[in-house]
Amino acid sequence: MKVKIICKEENYDKFRNIFEDNGFIISDIADYYFIEVDFQRKQIIGCDFKGNRIYANLNEICLVQANTYKNKVLLKNGSELFVNENLNFFEADIYSEIFIRANKSQVVNISEIRKISPQINSRVKLTLKNNEIVYITRTYVSKFKESIDRRRK
């Protein structure tokens, strides 16, 4: 089973040894994530079209789209990068104040939503600050509403 370790740099080797000693494979492309308690990741590492390594702050992410090979991340400045993290990573509890799942293939930065428009077919249309249109499908509408209500309090 493949595991990606997300922790403080000084603890990485300790956790890696524990997992490898128990038969786990440590990989950036993983089935599961191990996230250290109280660890708040502030950046994500990806690459551009040419394969150059790029660091982006999580609050600079506008939209994450699932692709077959790597997930595409659209940044507020309009640039794109590709990351190994899957969509579940972005909607994990530790990032639930930043991101919300819109549908099977997209996660949205909540602060980037400019307009919310309910649709007749029980979906919600989001217009982002960069004018990108994203639809929240029926499956995710209730979770979206809960997230918006939490932010209002």
127 or 67, which is more confident: 127
Work out the mean pLDDT of the chain and round it to a whole number: 85
Q: What is the mean pLDDT of the segment spanning 123-136?
A: 94
117 or 100, which is more confident: 117
Confidence band of 119 (pLDDT split at 50, 70, 90): very high
Confidence band of 128 (pLDDT split at 50, 70, 90): very high
Q: What is the mean pLDDT of the segment spanning 111-133?
A: 93
pLDDT in tens, 88-99: 878 776 677 788
pLDDT in tens, 48-87: 888 787 878 888 888 888 875 678 888 887 888 888 777 8
Percent of the chain clearing pLDDT 70 (strictly above): 95
Q: What is the mean pLDDT of the segment spanning 4-28?
A: 88
Q: What is the 3-state secondary structure (H, E, C) of the chain?
A: CEEEEECCHHHHHHHHHHHHHCCCEECCCCCEEEECCCCCCCEEEEECCCCCEEEEEHHHEEEEECCCCCEEEEECCCCEEEECCCHHHHCCHHHCCCEEEEECCEEEEHHHEEEEEECCCCCEEEEECCCCEEEECHHHHHHHHHHHHHHHC
pLDDT at 2 > cutoff 80: yes
- The pLDDT value given to residue 93: 64
- The pLDDT value given to residue 19: 95
As its CATH architecture, domain 40-152 has Beta Barrel (2.40)
For the chain, the domains span 1-39, 40-152
